[in-house]
Structure 1
């Protein structure tokens, strides 16, 4: 059955894979898609038009969350210069841009966020800091950088009572650093 009820209509059925939700269309037109795809020119244009750098997408992520996870240093820098909150947290997961960059192993972005004053002690919904996330994914340079900024984080337990060292299992270099 098609979406259109007109006689002879050749519309695609609503279950077609080419349909797109309003949230998806808003995302693609918004600053989040530009940030995620390293489109600095579009980010600049949207900021000049007055788009708030901290506007959340439908899932609660800001443009900085998207750019940080993807490792887009110039876009992150521009968003921070435009006033993006370095510690903005998502609604459901309480993840910050630092959590996302650390989990993805984006060292230059992690260093930028730390320089911008990111709070290394903020936990996500699981009680994990960015150090837990970096250790969990075996990102040794990121673990080193976060530890340099806040050495006491290696003693911080998550909601399950686990230290970052627990998540380094299987990665001897990260485990040595956290041990």
Structure 2
């Protein structure tokens, strides 16, 4: 994982954003990460055109696609994926953009990620899939989508031995009963 460069060669423009003195231990999203988080598609495009790498993680280990996915910014997600952002990039805790979209209930973003090859069976550091995340939050449509993609997900157990049904919101229990 690279550390963002500051100064004239800074493709994410941290200096312009007033973060030139950002210390490496301070995980503050800036540049493309803030633009992705905020859904600023024009700014993301501008930063990518400055030779930015859409796969570059911020100081906390999150890519722009993680931020856009969590916040449901479909246009930004589409742009990042078209520019080569890896759909299965992982945070230090093992979360992928799909995990973040599923947890937050963003159906259209989840569909986009799956269409770009995101692995619905990918597990985070706790052994949880996107289905675990969606089920926990009671996102019915997301659970149904993931189960259509990969019916066997309902039987997968996390690191604590829990299936998606075990930690699910009651609104999705019927979908997860096997």
- TM-score, normalisation: structure 1: 0.83
Match of 1:84 in 2: 85
Match of 2:176 in 1: 178
Q: CA RMSD in A?
A: 1.6
CA distance in 2, matches of 1:166, 1:160: 11
User: 1:117 Cα shift?
Assistant: 0.8
- TM-score, normalisation: structure 2: 0.84
Q: Secondary structure at the match of 1:167?
A: coil
Aligned residues: 156
User: 1:137 Cα shift?
Assistant: 1.0
Match of 2:117 in 1: 117
Larger helix percent: 1
CA distance in 2, matches of 1:48, 1:144: 37
User: 1:89 Cα shift?
Assistant: 0.5
User: 1:167 Cα shift?
Assistant: 1.3
CA distance in 1, matches of 2:28, 2:51: 16
User: 1:26 Cα shift?
Assistant: 6.5
5 Å-filtered alignment, 1:2-151, equals: 21-22=22-23, 27-28=29-30, 30-91=31-92, 93-151=93-151
User: 1:39 Cα shift?
Assistant: 0.4
Q: Is the 8 A contact 2:87 2:113 kept in 1?
A: yes
Deviation string for 1:119-172 (max 9, x for gaps)?
11111010000000101111111111111111100000000001000111x41x
Name the CA shift for 1:33/1:161 in 2 (closer, same or farther; >3 Å).
same
Q: Is the 8 A contact 2:131 2:143 kept in 1?
A: yes
Unaligned runs of 5+ in 1: 1-19
Q: Is the 8 A contact 2:127 2:159 kept in 1?
A: yes
Q: Is the 8 A contact 2:95 2:124 kept in 1?
A: yes
Choose 1 or 2 for highest CA Rg: 1
CA distance in 1, matches of 2:127, 2:88: 15
